[in-house]
Amino acid sequence: MIGHFRYLVLYLASGIFGFVLGGNYAAEGIASTGASGALFGVVALTVLDLLYNWNDRPKHWWDLFWIGVDVVVSFILGLLPGLDNFSHIGGFFMGLVLGICILRSPAALRERTGDHEFEPTYSPVLDSKTQATATTQFVKSPVGFFKGRKPAWWAWWVARALALTFVLIVFILLLNNFYIYRKTCGWCKYLSCLVRPLYFRTFPHGQS
Kindly report, residue by residue over 140-167, the tens digit of the pLDDT. 766 666 677 788 888 888 999 999 999 9
- Judged against a pLDDT cut of 90, whether residue 194 lies above it is answered with no
The alpha carbon of residue 75 and the mean position of all alpha carbons in its chain are separated, in whole angstroms, by 15
Active site residue: 14, 32, 87, 88, which one? 88
In this prediction, residue 120 carries a pLDDT of 41
Single-letter residue type at 28: E
- Residue 169 clears pLDDT 70, i.e. is over it: yes
d(CA 75, CA 37): 11
If DSSP codes are grouped into helix, strand and coil, which group holds residue 181?
helix
Closest-CA residue to 81 (of 21, 30, 45, 123): 30
Instruction: Share the mean pLDDT of the chain.
Output: 79
User: What is the rounded distance in angstroms from the CA atom of residue 178 to the CA atom of residue 22?
Assistant: 10
Q: What is the pLDDT of residue 121?
A: 44
Which sequence spans correspond to the domains of the chain? 4-142+153-202
- CB-side exposure of 32: number of CA atoms within 13 Å? 30
Q: Exposed e or buried b for every residue in 36-74, given b needs 16+ CB within 10 A?
A: bbbbbbbbbbebbbeebbeeeeeeeeebeeeeeeebeeb
Confidence of residue 191 (pLDDT cuts 50, 70, 90): confident
| Segment 6-62, tens digit of pLDDT | 899 999 999 999 999 988 887 776 666 778 889 999 999 999 999 988 888 888 999
Return the higher-pLDDT residue of 208 and 35.
35
Question: In angstroms, rounded to a whole number, what is the distance separating the alpha carbons of residues 75 and 68?
Answer: 11
- Distance, in Å, from the CA atom of 18 to the CA atom of 30, rounded to the nearest integer, reads 14
Q: pLDDT value at position 118?
A: 47
| H helix intervals, 35-150 | 36-52, 60-77, 85-102, 107-113, 129-140, 142-146
Residue at 66: amino acid letter: W
Q: What is the phi/psi pair of residue 119, to 5°?
A: -130, 70
Q: Judge whether 36 counts as a catalytic residue.
A: yes
What pTM was estimated for this model as a whole? Answer: 0.77
Res 83: pLDDT: 77
- Residue 174's pLDDT band (boundaries 50, 70, 90)? very high
Rounded-to-integer distance, Cα 60 and Cα 88, Å: 24
- Exactly one of 32, 36, 87, 192 is catalytic; which is it? 36
Task: Name residue 103's amino acid.
Answer: L
What span, in angstroms and rounded, lies between the C-alpha atoms of 65 and 82? Answer: 28
pLDDT per position as a tens digit, 58-98 = 889 999 999 999 989 988 887 777 778 888 899 999 999 99
| Residue 205 annotated as catalytic | no
